[in-house]
A and B are shown apart, each in its own frame.
Chain A
Amino acid sequence: MKKTPAIWKIERVFISALVGFLLFGGNVAYQRNPSVELPSAQSTLKAGSDAPGFELKIIGDHGKTMKLSDLKGKAVLVDFWATYCEPCKVEMPWFADLQKKYGPLGFQVIGISMDDEDMSAATIMGFARKMGVNYPILQGTERVADLYGGIDGLPLSFFIDRSGKIVDSQLGLVDKSVLEDNIKKSLAQGGDPAKTPSGK
């Protein structure tokens, strides 16, 4: 069918309207909701990026601190959790098992408690002990939460390889096998191949 000038005109107007929406409409739609929160920065901590460094107080260890850089050369799982988080309670005994299994290969779990800073060390550590935790629990801060993307949800786990790069992250409860696969990847990357797990 041959297009008449009138059809071309309609087509041009339609295209202009769509392009206009493309440039401005989407933006307006995004701004309409005043309670929009910034996108979770987990998306900015992509696999392959350097894990943000931190130094945090070890809960129940008389003011001692731990730096992420203290674990250089190890594969690290950083688990953000809180006592109010029921799914976190499911994962913590798994992390204790995985620490036992992969610790000798150079793996370390670190728990970072995101409970209110006024919650007592005794309460947090009492809870952690009930969960069978055999790894250090650090006191989270807003600064570290921001560095790791604002921590909008828990549990939030970051898997870090031996060279300090992020291998993967998981928000929410996932199957234990997913955690274990990521630990194996963390152990296998960024370090001495002789120390990597066989995968069996």
Chain B
Amino acid sequence: MRKTLFVLILTTCAASLLSSAACAQSSSAQTRVTIDPVPAVSVRAGHMTPAQLTFHILPGFHVNSNKPATPELIPTALNFSLPGDLVIAKVQYPAGQLLSFPFDPTQKLSVYSGDVNVKFSVIAQANAGAGSYTVHGELKYQACDNNACYPPKKIPVDFTVSITRGTPGHKYPHN
């Protein structure tokens, strides 16, 4: 009797453990794209310095590239709202992979999957005051898997820029 009770409790607990794990897995599956924190950037006034955003797409999902195959598709894009003394320039999105999917094997879409790096330059205006600034931005994407698509989402992208007057950096070419 006691042994049966013990087995019953063990079975219940094992089922609970499994369901908790499944629950956690399905919850995290809702977050189809994650980003790495952008490291703090230091730039000399009147100069520019390179920076990079890395994001990761969950296996089994893809997002449109920055230049999708058709105009209806929503491009992956990085947008910033900047303090007056800073400019973001030369945003370089990688080229998308041209892939077809089971929902329409006849059409190739330009997509990202796996790990993606977006490079950009941070420019401090020549008259920028020295100090620490926070750049707020967002990564917009729209994900799909092999048979469904998910509403567009935005992930906040924030990082710190220190403007100095003595550190190295590439001189920003004024046109």
Residue-wise, chain B 1-13 has the 8 Å CB interface mask toward A (1 for contact) of 0000010011011
The one of A22, A37, A87 in contact with B103, judged by C-beta atoms closer than 8 angstroms, is: A87
Chain A residues with Cβ below 8 Å from B148 are 85, 87, 153-155, 171-173
Chain A residues with Cβ below 8 Å from B10 are 18
At the interface, yes or no: B117 with Cβ under 8 Å from chain A?
no
At the interface, yes or no: A114 with Cβ under 8 Å from chain B?
yes
Give the B-binding residues of A (Cβ under 8 A).
11, 15, 18-19, 21-22, 25-26, 29-30, 32-33, 35-37, 82-90, 114, 127, 151-155, 171-174
At the interface, yes or no: B40 with Cβ under 8 Å from chain A?
no
Chain A residues with Cβ below 8 Å from B19 are 26
Chain B residues with Cβ below 8 Å from A37 are 27, 30
Give the A-binding residues of B (Cβ under 8 A).
6, 9-10, 12-13, 16-17, 19-21, 23-24, 27-28, 30-31, 72-74, 101, 103-104, 107, 109, 142, 144-145, 147-152
Check B20 against A29 for contact (C-beta < 8 Å): yes
Query: What CA separation (Å) do A154 and B145 show in the bound complex?
Result: 10
Query: What CA separation (Å) do A89 and B74 show in the bound complex?
Result: 15
- Nearest first, the 4 closest Cβ-Cβ pairs linking A and B are A172-B148, A26-B20, A172-B147, A85-B149
Chain B residues with Cβ below 8 Å from A35 are 27-28, 30-31
Query: What CA separation (Å) do A26 and B14 show in the bound complex?
Result: 11
Query: What CA separation (Å) do A88 and B144 show in the bound complex?
Result: 11
Chain B residues with Cβ below 8 Å from A32 are 24
Residue ID in chain B nearest A35 by CB atoms: B31
The one of A83, A154, A155, A171 in contact with B72, judged by C-beta atoms closer than 8 angstroms, is: A83
Given A90-B104, A152-B150, A153-B148, A30 contacting B27 (CB threshold 8 A)? yes
Chain A residues with Cβ below 8 Å from B20 are 25-26, 29-30
